[in-house]
Every structure is written in C-alpha cells, then in structure tokens.
Amino acid sequence: MNLLNTKKSNILSVTYQLLREIKVKVNLSTLSKNMESHPEYPGLLTICDCLKIFNVDNHVYRIEKEDYNDLDLPFPFITHTSKNGGAFFLVQDISKGQLRISDEKIKNRLVSREEFFATWEGLILYAKANAGSGEAHYLEHYIQSLLHKIAVPAFLTVLGSVIVLLFGLHPFNWAILALCLIKFTGSAISILLAAHRLNGHHPWVRKICGPAGKSDCNAILQSRAAQLTKWFSWAEAGLFYFSGSFLAVLIFPFLAPLLFWANVFALPYTVYSLVYQYKLRKWCILCCAIQGLLILEYVAFSFIPGRFSFEIFGYPGILLLVLCYLIPVVTWGLVKPLLAENAALKAMGWQLKQFKYNGELFALGLMNQKHYEADSQIKPIVLGNPHADIVITLVSNPFCGPCTEVHHFFDQWLRERDDLQLRIILLASGDQAQVRVAEHMIALGLLKDKKLVAQALNDWYGGQPKVYERWQKKYPALITEQIKAAFRKQQQWCADADIGHTPAILVNGHVLPEPYQVEDLKYLIS
C-alpha cells in the first residue's frame, strides 16, 4: 500500500520544485522516469528514494500541531495535506505569519497558519543538497530532453509549411480555406478520440471532458454504440473521414463536389450520436464537436459553386479520392497495433511491478533457491558493515562489462545504507590477465583500509581503459601463495554453486531468482 498516495502529476511537480529550490540540477524527464519506476509511486517513499538517487540528503519528521514552532521548521520542505483526497505541496518559507506554498497548480501562494493547519497532517520532508548532489550526465540528458520536447513542434511546423505550400498551388478560395480548417480540426479531435479508445485514460481527453456532471466522454466512448465492429470504432471512422477528405481538399480542391456528397451521407450520423447521448443523459464534448464540424462542413460547401455537379464522378476523380482516403487508413493500420501494444505493456508493467515488489513473494522465491555461504575461508572482499545481518554476495569478473554497472550500483547503495554487507568473489577464466587482476583484488581485500579497497575497485571498474600495470602501481599488493590458494578456493566455490556467469548475486547465501534484477534490491531489502 502506498504511503500518502496522491496524484501522479502532483508528486512529480512538487519534488521537481523542491530540487530547483535547493539548486539541484535534475532533468524533469529523468525525475519522472525514476519516480514512475518506484514500487511505491506515487507515495512519500518515492520522494525519499528518488532524492537519494540524486545524492540529496533527506529526512522525514512528524510534528504535532501543538508542538509547531516557526523557528524549528527547516525551509523549504515538502508536506502533505488531506485536502482534495490528499496531495503534496512545497512550503518555501514563512513571513509575517503567512506560509508561501506551491504545488502543480499554484506557485508562491500565501496562506495563513489557520488555513495551513486546517488540512496539514504533520509530516515534513526536509532535503539538503551537498557538493555531490545532482543528476549524473545532466547536460547530456538535458539536450536529449530538449530534442524530445521540440520534436512535436518541429513536426507541426514542417507539416504546417507543407500545408501552406500545397494550398498556395491553387487559386485562393475562402470556402476551400474554411473546409481545410474544419477538416484539420476534425482530424485532430478524431485522433484524440481514437487514442482514448485504445487506453481509456488519455490525459488530454480527460482534461477536456472528464467525468463532471453530465459531461463524460469515457461513458460514451467505451459504450457498445461507439463500436461499429469489435475491431472498428466510430472514432476511427471519423479519423479516416476527416483526414482523408482533408488531404483531398488540400491537394485536389476540384474534388469538392465528391467531398460534398460524402458530407451529405455523413450528416445522418450527427442525429444518431446526439440522440444516443441524449438517451444516456451523458454528453461527450469532443463527440459533439465532431457533429458540429460535420454541420459546419455542409455550410462551407454551400459557398462552393458546382457542388451538385456530377461531372467529377468519373474514373480519375473517384480514384484520386480513394487514394486520399487510403493514406490515413494504411497509416492507422500500421500505427494502431503499436499504440495498442504500448498501452497494454504499460498496464502489464504496472501489474508486474506490484507483483514483483511484493516483499513476501520475494522472500519466498529467495528461500526456494539453494543456499551457498561465502565464508571467510575463501577470503571474499568484504565492504560495508561487516556485522550487518543482510549479506549480499557478488560474483564478479575483472573484465566483465555488465559487472561495471553492478559495482557502481553497490558502491552508491553502500553509501546510502549502513546495514548492508557486500562480499565480492572473483570468478576468472584460465586467461592469465584475468587471474592476475583477480588475485590482486583478493590481496587488496585483505587490507584493513576498506575505503582504499573500495576506491581501488571503483578505479578499476570506473570505465577507464583497464591497464593492470598502471592500476597495480597505484594500488600495490603482495601476491602470496596464500592469495593464490584463496583464488583457487573461490573458483571451486563458484563451481560448487553452479555459477558460471558474471555478475551473479546472492542474498544471505541464496541466489537472486528470476525475474529479479540487482536494481530491484533497493526496494525489496528494507
């Protein structure tokens, strides 16, 4: 169960504002990705863990209202209110008895103590930045995020330029211009309706006409009447009609008489849609907008001379019109399965996350694995708290690419937690270079200065070219027969545990079961 469950946009916005307030550089897209992947999202623990990812120290306090004192409050801080079903907001400072607060809807709003206390739940999350706070590779991710943001505006700009150029190829006509605008608007609304049909929770549609009184798009769009067949909806029919006719009137305006008759045959649908919504006593604003556009089309056609002409009803005209309609049909046929699959994967991913991060199921799966104790006889490298009850064993290889990421993960995690013990066992092939580095690491692991040991491992797995001669000069160690014997014992231990790949993870002697990954341990081991 999420602690202090709240709206997703609320928790993201408030956390991002806190980071900006304490001057920590983190991209909104990166923060969103980390938050949405958290098993407790959108709860208070999500904020705490995400701040730790960006190396921001944070603490949660509970303060009773009768113990409240302005001088004791560290600003800025995140707190929670019971108002509107529960929400987070950022308290930036207090002045003259008024608190300045912000959330996803309001910025820098002043509220009195009385108003603050009325819904305040007494929780405070305080965060403090340090020299190492911030997002790794911030600038690189910022550029990627910027390119992603301008992709849609750039596409619309190019599309608009093409439309203007195509429209300029023909003599100017106000009625044709009006038809282009009507059909373009109809295409845009139809895209929203079709997308909403796929996942039922399209954010733009919910903002325009969410369930409020008699306005409920979802009740209409998810009804049987919105479907022509099990695989084809009226929303898709509208998409094909408007987008296909938009292309036709833009490129071939002389096809207007054909498009006029298409509009005439579409008009009865307006009666069907409005009567159905009236009977249901629910109204879809976007659906009504479509009906209005169909009627406006008919009005616009009334200003086009020769609309009743049948001269265009020949082979070339009908063929061009069919081709214009086929373009959106074929495009949607290619795009629809991808959108449907993406929507299904998101829903499935959320369900899998709830199952995957169930602590009881994880413990059960872990205990079903065979137990292999990496005792001191094989001389594993020990980092973290040597007296911790939680012992994680990492089987690594000095030249293993994936091992680099795993080492970085544990290095960061050990900085955050003081109740973990990490034991590293080296698995190397018969290659002399691997054996030499592995034996050197085992020798370093016997040093009492564990900070030096951790630094040596970080330098080796730090992404720089792995040059043993340079590394061993910086971190010298004596390779004795005792060290070589320990290396052989570690190889035998791996063989007995049937571990032939790296990296391999064991938690308290049990192999980490599928489908768990090393990153999941942060949420499973509390």
Quote the pLDDT of residue 362.
86
pTM score of the predicted model: 0.66
Q: What is the 3-state secondary structure (H, E, C) of 307-352?
A: CCCCCCCCHHHHHHHHHHHHHHHHHHHHHHHHHHHHHHHHHHHHHH
DSSP annotation of 66: G
| Structure tokens given for 30 | 């990166």
> N- to C-terminal Cα distance for the chain?
15
| Contact residues for 300 (Cβ-Cβ < 8 A; gap 6+) | 175, 178, 179, 182
Q: Give tens-digit pLDDT for 27-55.
A: 999 999 889 888 888 889 899 989 988 98
Asked if 425 and 490 count as a contact pair (C-beta separation under 8 A), the reply is yes
Could you state, in chain order, the average pLDDT of each consecutive group of 10 residues for the chain (526 residues)?
54 94 93 87 90 90 80 86 84 87 89 85 90 89 89 83 76 84 92 77 60 61 78 89 91 87 91 87 86 93 78 76 92 87 74 77 88 88 93 92 90 88 90 90 93 93 84 92 93 91 92 88 83
DSSP annotation of 2: -
Q: Give tens-digit pLDDT for 241-289.
A: 999 999 998 888 888 888 999 999 999 989 988 888 888 888 888 889 9
Which domains are assigned to the chain?
Answer: 10-129 (3.90.70.10), 170-342 (1.20.1440.130), 364-523 (3.40.30.10)
